[in-house]
Chains A and B, each alone.
Chain A
């Protein structure tokens, strides 16, 4: 879970070049250590737009896949990611480092709050039984393989069957790669409770995905 990567220290020109090269491909940047992130935050606060850009590249895909797990559509996830990343980059002066949570946990707290505002706005769109409707748009990339598309659809269907709180917590765990303490910080719940919810949701989610992907599961 630790973000520290051996050899990842400062945002060298080579690293910035690498980040710039992979950005058009939509991939995650090579993760930086928490110390390097802290230095980038300081530089970005001082007006360094390069540091701000590196922080963006470090977190944008993680924010997207986290909020995609919470929301019903790829379009919503896109909007929330934009709004959340803008809030992060324009609120860096409000960030206070914590011993029990990485910078990513602060970013994800903003992402969760942004997504929750959208939940509130969309509540009337829920079905009478309180369940989420069928996934209208899974954001499939035509370039993706059939197997990847099946696995994505199975995940989205299984997530839609969880409660809102479970969706948020498992998305923070597997999408944002936060630990129980950091998830607790992000959602304001005790880590012990987070672990219990995670255990229950993981079992349900895993069983449902396996059922959907099994030959008789009905997904082709």
Chain B
């Protein structure tokens, strides 16, 4: 077999359409996750999951409100 014939043989091991789709999906999902900032994640969460987002905001607010007095109490007792 000459060079061209061997190069032709390699074309038989190209990725199939399904393999290529899986590779593309994995690579671009990873890159998209890497490119997305934390702020954008939060904005996306607010847009797609309003109830979960509201819950998270409520928990965060309660934590912010209760943490300082609890810390003050803990320091006073210590």
Q: Known contacts A60-B23, A85-B27, A86-B27; is A206 also within 8 Å of B13 by CB?
A: no
For B4, the closest partner residue in chain A by CB is: A174
A177 and B20 alpha carbons, distance in the complex (Å): 20
Chain A min CB distance to B27 (Å)? 5
Q: Pick the most buried of B10, B14, B20, B21: most chain A CB atoms within 10 A of its CB.
A: B10
Q: Is A65 an interface residue (CB 8 A)?
A: yes
- Ordered nearest first, which 8 A-B pairs have the shortest CB separation? A206-B1, A152-B12, A26-B20, A141-B16, A174-B10, A64-B15, A26-B17, A68-B13
Q: B5 to chain A: which residues have CB within 8 Å?
A: 206
Among A111-169, those with CB < 8 Å from B are 139, 141, 143, 148, 151-152, 154-156
Which of B6, B10, B23 meets A82, CB within 8 Å? B23
Bitwise interface map of B from 3 to 40 toward A, beta carbon under 8 Å scored 1, else 0? 10111011111111111111110110011001100000
Which of B9, B17, B27, B34 meets A24, CB within 8 Å? B17
Q: A205 to chain B: which residues have CB within 8 Å?
A: 1, 6
For A155, the closest partner residue in chain B by CB is: B9
Do the beta carbons of B13 and A152 come within 8 Å of each other?
yes
Inter-chain CB contacts under 8 Å: number = 103
Do the beta carbons of A174 and B6 come within 8 Å of each other?
yes
Q: Is the interface of B mostly helix, strand, loop or mixed?
A: helix
Q: Is A186 an interface residue (CB 8 A)?
A: no
Q: Is A193 an interface residue (CB 8 A)?
A: no
For B35, the closest partner residue in chain A by CB is: A49
Chain A min CB distance to B36 (Å)? 12
Q: Is A90 an interface residue (CB 8 A)?
A: yes
Do the beta carbons of A60 and B20 come within 8 Å of each other?
yes
Which of A56, A74, A148 meets B12, CB within 8 Å? A148
Q: B24 to chain A: which residues have CB within 8 Å?
A: 23, 60
